[in-house]
Amino acid sequence: MNQEIPIETLIQKALEMLAFSYVPYSRYTVGAALLTKQGEIYTGCNIENAAYGPSNCAERTAFFKAISEGKKEFSAIAVVGGPNGTTEEYCMPCGVCRQVMVEFCDKDFKIIIAKSPKDYIVKNLEEILPFSFNPQDKIGANAK
């Protein structure tokens, strides 16, 4: 499916999510907007916890919301973030979020890293996580 990606809309939705971040420890807010192949948008923000381990990134929050509603095919995600709600730097997904993306997305899945709706870069999943461990690599997946 060759879908037109509404880049500026995704970035704007991700920017709106910064206000919902719960970050009393790092003060580093992150927002994400995930586009399904059906054209639906799921949003997420980062949520910290005093124990750190139970914290969740904005990207995974968006993915888990979508997956929990039965969506499993995705086209793109926009990610914005920075200290105290600023977006003066590009905010790349962490390794755990990249691995979640590999689980549910094709290698041409688009990651839009933005400072604003007019200032962004676009990478595909294979560019940000080359040589990934993906569902096809699971033990027995290729067994005959």
Q: How do residues 74-91 score in pLDDT, each as one tens digit?
A: 999 999 999 999 999 999
Can you say how many angstroms the Cα of residue 136 is from the centroid of all Cα atoms in its chain? 21
Cβ neighbours of residue 124 under 8 Å, at least 6 residues apart? 107, 108, 109, 110, 111
**Per-residue pLDDT at 142 exceeds 90:** no
Query: Are 30 and 18 in contact, with CB atoms under 8 Å apart?
Result: yes
pLDDT at 1: 47
Average pLDDT over residues 29-48: 98
pLDDT band at 3 (very low <50, low <70, confident <90, very high): confident
Positions marked catalytic: 59
Model-level pTM greater than 0.85? yes
